[in-house]
Structure 1
Amino acid sequence: MSKSPEPRLAQREELALLPRIEARAAERLHGHPAARIFAASLTDRQLFEQAWQQGMLWVIASGHELAGYLMAGVLGADFHIQQMDVAPEHGRKGLGRALLRHALEQGRARGHQRAVLSTLSDVAWNAPFYASEGFREWPAQDWSAEMREVMAAETAAGFPMELRLAMQRALE
């Protein structure tokens, strides 16, 4: 019986592999109103570097190949899931779920009371996936100042905001 892949902190030399995973994952949005925006706004290498330096960048492998990553940060007092991608050929194997659960445990261990994120409402591996892990829609009137800034930046980038939503979940 083979052991399930375990998320772990990224190694510096792996940072160069993450943009390809992100670009491959974005290809799954072909035909979606946000596809062009995602393709044009891939994560800057400096953001990966910063998350890595803060110990907030986890990866997961499938066999000997890096299959996905999750990058987090701090947004006000909250643990912020900034970006999570799994290469399409490694999808539907529980790797994203393993990454998310691992990251949430790390956020809890760091003393955060809540995890937050922004995502697409109409894509099965986005909002419905996060809802299956205990995240709930975070109404705009209740957003923190920091989440308002995130959503304003997404608006400025051209995301179809009628399809975006913020979500939150307690870290107990």
Structure 2
Amino acid sequence: MSSPTLVIRPALSSDLPLIPQIEYQAGQIFRVVDMDAIADDAPPTIDSLAHYASTGRLWVAVSCSDSAAPIAYLTADLLASDGLAQVAQVTVLPEHARRGIGASLLRYLELWAREMKLRGVSLTTFKDVPWNRPMYERLGYRTLGDEELQQEGLRGLRGLVEEEGRNEVLKRWPRCAMVKMFTG
């Protein structure tokens, strides 16, 4: 997927050392909403990123007008029991934020998930952070209620929510599970 100034492509091994810096820089905005522990969270390791890349689940956005260096990335997990692609992380460098790059990465993931014959895309995010849940809602994702999350077909997503609930850092701020299910 591309536009005149944006290309989304699978990550190259040369991209991997640049991605932790994207995560670190983008994470600093959490300080604005008094979520310093999130801003201080360790970025993904090169080994973790290499795993995502080797399994075809790490994509980067590059700006043709700047350089070939990534300005954003997305990693995805497979929730095989649910038939869903799970957004593990989507992050955009602050100087490129609010230009639709994250949305473009999500649309790319949705196309990939359709090609993989999955039922949809899921994610977990902070409920009350102004640039999280509202952005996903604008892109057609909907928040699952507690009862919906108990459905048999969402066992993997429910497990992720429970795991996040045990995470000492994440459980300090309300989170929610969201999905965008495909029709037809």
TM-score normalized by the length of structure 2: 0.85
Which stretches in structure 1 are left out of the alignment for 5+ residues? none
1:132-171 Cα deviation digits (max 9, x unpaired): 1100001223222212221222222221365210000113
Aligned CA RMSD, in angstroms, stands at: 1.8
Q: In the alignment, is the contact (CA less than 8 A) between 1:34 and 1:160 conserved in 2? A: no
Residue 166 of structure 1 corresponds to which residue in structure 2? 177
1:15-72 Cα deviation digits (max 9, x unpaired): 1111110111110110435430452243233321221111111100122032100101
- The alpha-carbon deviation at position 7 of structure 1 amounts to 0.9
Which stretches in structure 2 are left out of the alignment for 5+ residues? none
Which range moved further: 158-167 or 81-90?
158-167
Counterparts of 2:122 and 2:146 in 1: how far apart (Å)?
A: 13
Percent identity between the two aligned chains = 27
Q: In the alignment, is the contact (CA less than 8 A) between 1:6 and 1:98 conserved in 2? A: no
Counterparts of 1:140 and 1:45 in 2: how far apart (Å)?
A: 35
Residue 120 of structure 2 corresponds to which residue in structure 1? 114
Residue 154 of structure 1 corresponds to which residue in structure 2? 164
Q: In the alignment, is the contact (CA less than 8 A) between 2:85 and 2:118 conserved in 1? A: yes
Counterparts of 2:35 and 2:182 in 1: how far apart (Å)?
A: 30
Higher relative contact order (CA 8 A, sep 6+): 1
SS of equivalent to 2:33: coil
SS of equivalent to 2:4: coil
1:5-154 equivalent positions in 2, closer than 5 A: 5-62=6-63, 63-64=66-67, 65-75=69-79, 76=81, 77-143=83-149, 144-154=154-164
Counterparts of 2:47 and 2:6 in 1: how far apart (Å)?
A: 27
Going from structure 1 to structure 2, the CA distance change for 1:155 and 1:137 (only over 3 Å counts) comes to same
Q: In the alignment, is the contact (CA less than 8 A) between 1:9 and 1:57 conserved in 2? A: yes
Counterparts of 1:47 and 1:7 in 2: how far apart (Å)?
A: 20
Counterparts of 2:147 and 2:162 in 1: how far apart (Å)?
A: 14
Q: In the alignment, is the contact (CA less than 8 A) between 1:119 and 1:165 conserved in 2? A: yes
Counterparts of 1:168 and 1:113 in 2: how far apart (Å)?
A: 10
